[in-house]
Amino acid sequence: MNLRDFGLLVLVCLVWACNNIISKIVVAHWGVPPLFYAAVRFAIVAAVTLPWLLPAPRPTWRIVVVGLLMGVGNFALLFMGFKTASPSAAAVVIQVAVPFTTILSVLLLGEKVRWKRGLGIALTLSGAVVVMWNPHGLQLSPGLWFIVGSAFTGSLGAVMMKQIEGVKPLQFQAWVGFTAVAPLAALSGVFEPGGLGLAAHAGWPFLAAVLFSALVVSVLGHTTYYGLIQRHEANLIAPLTLMTPLMTIGLGVLITHDHFDIRMGIGTALALVGVLIIALRKNQVMPLILLMRNRFQ
């Protein structure tokens, strides 16, 4: 990998990490309802990527389901989790998406899991458990439950996406945005009355945040990253993407004053080593995991 591409990857990971902190601030500090935030984000994504919506991938029902899993499931649950979970804890717990994807690829795609990938799954899950552990035992906060749900729905979407051929990143973004807007808006209207007023109260900072999330993170970030995957082997990109959770933890400690102690450090190390082991094993879905592992983006 040349210096230019490495610099692009570092920049993309930094953008994703910054977005995690911004999302936490939007829903937890500014009080913008998470479903409303997700709906506005995907409305912008859908509008910008509309020229890439057609022709529809085949089978169309599958891309619709994938869009619902990634938009309504993955991102909505992620933003709901940020209401109470710290970005640092979420950055570690969301890594269970990688073993989830591996397990689902075995069940749905017939992949084989050998002992090294099994070890990676065990380490990743152990790291997440350590992060969630407290002196009173394993007590998963509501926010972290939402993060786990986000990881699972994103993983299922990734595996189902593998069964659709020829979908380019902007077309994928278009379908996620198109399928997610109406359900998210409806859910927000039912469960988050007054969301528009709360967003208006947050003012221009909210508008800047949602434009950054939709345009810079989703459209530019994903497209740039997909180009890097096309130019370089997935096994080269995989270890470097771990910069995103590490940057998120660092920014969380500095900006949102996340608690980070020895227990968190051990859990983080276990989870990221497990992810690294899984990512370095060749398999059918790893390039897709790298693109969609939301992935916290």
Measure the CA–CA gap between 223 and 1, rounded to whole angstroms. 18
pLDDT at 294: 41
Quote the percentage of the chain above a pLDDT of 70: 86
DSSP 201-257: HH-HHHHHHHHIIIIIIIIIIHHHHHHHHHHS-HHHHHHHHTHHHHHHHHHHHHHS-
pLDDT at 258: 85
Lowest mean pLDDT among 142-146, 173-177, 224-228, 276-280: 276-280
> Quick one: average pLDDT of 106-117?
73
Contacts of 83 (CB under 8 A, 6+ apart): 27, 28, 34, 143
SS3 of residue 73 by DSSP: helix
24-38, 219-233, 282-296: which is most confident = 24-38
Contacts of 27 (CB under 8 A, 6+ apart): 33, 34, 37, 79, 80, 82, 83
44-53, 105-114, 128-137, 236-245: which is most confident = 44-53
35-56: string of b/e by CB count within 10 Å (b at 16+)? Answer: bbbbbbbbbbbbebbeeeeeee
Given a cut of 60, whether residue 138 has pLDDT beyond it is no
Given a cut of 50, whether residue 139 has pLDDT beyond it is yes
Please tell me which residue, 205 or 282, carries the higher pLDDT value. Answer: 205
Phi then psi for residue 196, to 5 deg, are -65, -40
Average pLDDT, the chain: 82
Please tell me which residue, 39 or 263, carries the higher pLDDT value. Answer: 39
Residue with tokens 């950055």: 91
Let me know: does 20 contact 150? Beta carbons within 8 Å: no
Please tell me which residue, 53 or 124, carries the higher pLDDT value. Answer: 53
Which residues, in sequence order, are bridge partners of residue 40? Answer: none
Write out the two tokens for 153. 């729905």
pLDDT tens, residue by residue, 224-249: 877 776 677 665 666 677 778 888 88
Q: Residue 296: which H helix or E strand, with range? A: strand 293-296
Quote the percentage of the chain above a pLDDT of 90: 29
Helix-, strand-, coil-residue percentages of the chain, each rounded to 5: 80, 5, 20
Let me know: does 132 contact 96? Beta carbons within 8 Å: no
User: 10 Å Cβ neighbour count for 190?
Assistant: 9
Lowest mean pLDDT among 57-61, 129-133, 197-201, 280-284: 280-284
Lowest mean pLDDT among 121-130, 131-140, 198-207, 248-257: 131-140
Let me know: does 275 contact 98? Beta carbons within 8 Å: yes
Contacts of 219 (CB under 8 A, 6+ apart): 45, 48, 49, 170, 173
Contacts of 54 (CB under 8 A, 6+ apart): none
Task: Provide the number of structural domains found in the chain.
Answer: 1
- Candidates 263, 235, 283; CA nearest to 105 is 283
pLDDT at 282: 55
66-75, 183-192, 219-228, 257-266: which is most confident = 183-192
pLDDT at 19: 92
pLDDT at 296: 45
Specify burial of residue 297 (Cβ count, 10 A radius: 0-12, 13-18, 19+): buried
Lowest mean pLDDT among 18-22, 175-179, 208-212, 291-295: 291-295
Lowest mean pLDDT among 104-108, 124-128, 201-205: 124-128
Domain hosting residue 179, numbered range: 3-296
Measure the CA–CA gap between 265 and 260, rounded to whole angstroms. 7
Given a cut of 50, whether residue 124 has pLDDT beyond it is yes
